[in-house]
Chain A
Amino acid sequence: MQYDFELVGQALVVTLQGELDLHTSPEFKDKLTKLFETHSAIKDLIMDVKGLSFIDSSGLGVILGRYRVVQERGGRLFFVQANPQIKRILQMSGFQKISEFAKSTKDVLERV
């Protein structure tokens, strides 16, 4: 599992590569949580999931946990370039109600 974080204005862009499950999600959660704690200006969370090949409820739980912070700060959650399988599991778990799907990070950054 690899992830990159980039702060762009008030948005945190997270690029995921690999599989997010019970084993890989705790470290990812810690890093993401620290970023939100140390950068109070972060409002929007943009998850670039093009390279995400697998996610289950363990990984989704981490993203939902950070969404709660995003919501408190009046921001929005975006998923960029989700493949059909990832999109399906996101929709099944209710993420389509609290997030937006986008084709590119650039598109989202122009909107937020």
Chain B
Amino acid sequence: MTTTNWIKLEIPSDTRNVAFARTAVALFASQLDWTLDELEDIKVAVSEAVSNSVIHGYALQEGLVKIEASYEGPKLSIIIEDFGQGIADIEQAQEVGFTSIPEERMGLGFTFMHEYMDQVLVASEVDKGTKVTMIKRVKDVES
């Protein structure tokens, strides 16, 4: 059996689709040998990234969110991309507790992504959109 596989999804930026996105990616990821906790970690990370696209990228307005998940051997890659307003200061956006909507949000979305995934890369351009790439590797139980 091949050790690579991938999925691509395109969803409208609708809050209802956040649960769908995290469940679909977790279901795909479950083809690899994760613990149940690790699968939950992936769900949280995807939920945060897609939520960011819906509330920050598109400010709860209509838009497109692209989701790609793939793996090569034990390495899972997840890309969440929107074409919304983008992030002016990527470093600041990833600081613990930073949020542009302080009365509503905790500013922990990126913190959870960093905590639950091995690697998180953020590329963004104002008025063009944001692309978040997250990587997590299955741990070698022998080591």
A22 CB contacts on chain B under 8 angstroms: 15, 18, 47, 51, 54-55
Question: Is B18 within 8 A of A89, CB to CB?
Answer: no
Residues in chain B within 8 A of chain A (CB atoms): 15-16, 18-19, 22, 37, 40, 43-44, 47-48, 51, 54-55, 104-109, 111-112, 115
Q: How far is the CB of A92 from chain B (nearest CB, A)?
A: 6
Instruction: Report if A89-B104 is in contact (Cβ < 8 Å); known contacts: A22-B18, A22-B54.
Output: no
Question: Is B47 within 8 A of A21, CB to CB?
Answer: yes
Interface residues of A in 63-102 (CB under 8 A from B): 64, 84-85, 88-89, 92-93
In angstroms, Cα B2 to Cα A82, docked, is 39
Residues in chain A within 8 A of chain B (CB atoms): 19, 21-23, 54, 56-58, 60-61, 64, 84-85, 88-89, 92-93
In angstroms, Cα B47 to Cα A92, docked, is 16
Instruction: Report if A60-B108 is in contact (Cβ < 8 Å); known contacts: A21-B19, A23-B15.
Output: yes
Question: Is A56 within 8 A of B112, CB to CB?
Answer: yes
Question: Is A23 within 8 A of B105, CB to CB?
Answer: no
Q: How far is the CB of A30 from chain B (nearest CB, A)?
A: 12
In angstroms, Cα B108 to Cα A93, docked, is 7
In angstroms, Cα B19 to Cα A60, docked, is 16
Question: Is A61 within 8 A of B115, CB to CB?
Answer: no
Instruction: Report if A57-B106 is in contact (Cβ < 8 Å); known contacts: A89-B44, A92-B112.
Output: yes
Q: How far is the CB of A61 from chain B (nearest CB, A)?
A: 5
In angstroms, Cα B17 to Cα A22, docked, is 10
A64 CB contacts on chain B under 8 angstroms: 106
Chain A residue nearest to B112 in the complex (CB): A57
The 10 closest A-B pairs by CB, nearest first: A23-B15, A57-B108, A22-B51, A56-B47, A61-B106, A85-B40, A22-B15, A22-B18, A57-B106, A57-B109
